[in-house]
Amino acid sequence: MTDPARFPDPFPPPFASAWGDDRFGLWAAIEVDGGDVGIVTQMFRWIEPGTFLMGSPDGELERSSDEGPQHPVTISQGFWLADTACTQALWLAVMGNNPSAFNDDPNRPVERVSWLDVQTFLEKLQALLPDCQVDLPSEAEWEYACRAGTATPFSFGANITPSQVNYAGHYPYAGGEPGEYRKRTVPVKTLPANPWGLYEMHGNVYEWCKDGRREYSAQAQTDPLGPTGQDQSRVIRGGSWGGIAWGSRSAIRNALQPGSASSHLGFRLCLRSIRPGSAAGGPAGSPGRASGASPEV
């Protein structure tokens, strides 16, 4: 249960159609009227401020050089993070189309969406949720939430199996046992949640982040943000249904041009509180999706 002293202000948030507190902590939900699609619900988890070690330690097996040096990162402001990747149902409700390759189940994550496509989605959803900033997590926020207080290669521990993560199971991590290769996405919430109640942070689809890839240093950072220029490549995190287990680790980093799209690529929504009467902002140091205010919780 969440310490009441660390509740967001306000709680419940103004965008919420429902809210509560369970074994994972605080949650809030939005509802989007998709017309013929019906009402689509998305749950969000409150991610409290905190400090973690970002990147991988020197001794982590199969690590990449750009995952270090490992360094302390403070996330100074809490935020609401979707407990699943954006589903095809939610995308269809907001956008009126479904670009996904694996489109036989609306509860599968939407894929084949570029970072630029996602910006259009965020703008349309923002019009429906004027009391918060609709956004993507920064790379640092994403890893903080993925790790969920853990320091192992995966939030599930030192290794994974296909019963926990959707990846190319015939390519296990660090001497693990080969397992099932599904060759496609699974519907969200098919596999176990991490310790903070977030589903499929490892595997299933890569998830776009707000920013580009910054160069790590050993110096402690607060709310770090990579490049955000218009043509700057954007970070993708988490691995995919077609990737090897190594590529689903908490620390692994990739980046693509913002116009890239494939059946391996989706995203996860982030909602931020804003000061009443101000434009939406972003993480510290971010220009946000609209100029003006910084977020406040």
Nearest to 263 by CA among 296, 240, 292: 240
At residue 264, the pLDDT reads: 98
**Residue where the block lists tokens 């776009």:** 208
At residue 3, the pLDDT reads: 66
134 neighbors 82 (Cβ within 8 angstroms): no
pLDDT tens for residues 104-115? 999 999 999 999
- In 69-189, DSSP assigns E strands to 71-75, 79-82, 133-135
* 2 pLDDT more than 80: no
Report the DSSP pairing between strands 270-272 and 133-135.
Answer: antiparallel
Beta-carbon contacts of 66 under 8 Å, excluding residues fewer than 6 positions away, are 213, 216, 253
pLDDT tens for residues 69-107? 999 999 999 999 999 999 999 999 999 999 999 999 999
Per DSSP, the three-state class of 22 is strand
Nearest to 250 by CA among 288, 286, 212, 196: 196
Q: What is the CATH number of domain 49-272?
A: 3.90.1580.10
At residue 290, the pLDDT reads: 30
The 3-state secondary structure of 245-270 reads HHHHCCCCCEEECCCCCCCCEECCCE
At residue 230, the pLDDT reads: 84
At residue 178, the pLDDT reads: 96
What count of other Cβ atoms lies within 10 Å of the Cβ of residue 118? 24
**Domain limits, the chain:** 49-272
Q: How far apart are CA 275 and CA 218, in angstroms?
A: 33
Give the mean pLDDT of 115-140.
97
Give the mean pLDDT of 243-267.
98
Q: How far apart are CA 162 and CA 233, in angstroms?
A: 30
Nearest to 7 by CA among 38, 41, 47, 42: 47
